[in-house]
Chain A
């Protein structure tokens, strides 16, 4: 009795083949999946995915999270390539918005180059002072 396993990430297929047993770090603890497992859908924690095949060495992958889907004849590991957290996503979204706003502002009133550079230099100086102060403590 075998179960088909697909381990994929958005940037590439990691593993595809059959197995006799699969172990995954699910959100509520490690789960072992044998063929004819009940349908299961769960989030994964960062951890190992181990694929066991009879008569062969165990294959191990590290995933930084994602979603696991189990069907009686099929295991799908949708692995994330990046670590995800709501606040990180939020910060990224803010950055993307800000870039657009800044670019728009620039298009509306073209600040003259010299002034912009002066401001930039000032900001850089401030930053280096802050860094010095921090490293002093």
Chain B
């Protein structure tokens, strides 16, 4: 029975692993729902602020903030959003692949790329390849906008000083539970939406100056976009982890089935051997 006992031990250990992956799957599923709610909750602000920027650029078309002016591209900034933890399938790697492709695209045109990273995985991946301007780690499942402000400001300052002429946000988009798509989004310069039925000639009463207000609004706009990206990435992380853990649990089930078969065979073999020994013994005695 020595062989059978060994197999029994293996079954036990795989069962324990399966319990863990099942638990992780369920935790990820419930966290994913919460994260999706947060993505939904963040949407109205982004929409409203975009509407206000649209109104503003219509009301006062002469005044242009540097964040809205298209410049010749000599340098590019990227904000990469990744997860802090692994065990979420190919989520991060798919994103990094696209980031690398984009970086190559710019570098072929002799445009250096500057990186700011959000999340531990991106930090450890890109640290080996290039210099990272700023990073923020350990945002957790419930990120807050105040944790992001500093990191974003580093990039915005770069943009203001002309160290970056375009700013991109790279993160995963939540398509559905099974699909998450890496996506690049242009943050700066902002392209205002001009779709409204407002009269042609009007202007705001500004308190204080329009320049200051526009600055306030644009900074908040960028922050809202990044925040939304981060929350969406959490939803993606949870969905990817849920799927990965589900397939891990399924695999564990298959392995247990195989091992069970193996165990039964070994047990059968042991019984057969014992029986034949008894029979042989009895034959020898009589």
Contacts and interface: CB of A to CB of B under 8 A. Distances in A.
Do A and B make up one complex? yes
Contact of B128 (A28, A38, A107): A107
B144 interface: yes
A96 B136 contact: yes
Contacts of B145: 10-11, 81-82
Interface residues on B, range: 35 or more
Nearest to A88: B149
Interface string A95-110: 1110110011001000
Interface centre among A38, A89, A90 (most CB of B within 10 A): A89
Contacts of B224: 10
A67 interface: yes
Nearest to B153: A93
Nearest to A37: B205
A39 B56 CA distance: 10
A13 interface: yes
Contact of A93 (B127, B135, B157): B157
A43 B135 CA distance: 30
Contacts, number: 137
B41 A13 contact: yes
A30 B204 CA distance: 18
A8 B45 contact: yes
B137 A99 contact: yes
B220 interface: yes
B206 A41 contact: yes
B131 interface: yes
B45 A9 contact: yes
B59 interface: yes
Given A38-B205, A41-B205, A82-B146, A97 B134 contact: yes
B131 A93 contact: no
B88 interface: no
The 10 A-B residue pairs with the shortest CB-CB distance, nearest first, are A92-B150, A12-B41, A96-B134, A93-B153, A42-B207, A96-B150, A82-B146, A96-B151, A13-B44, A41-B204
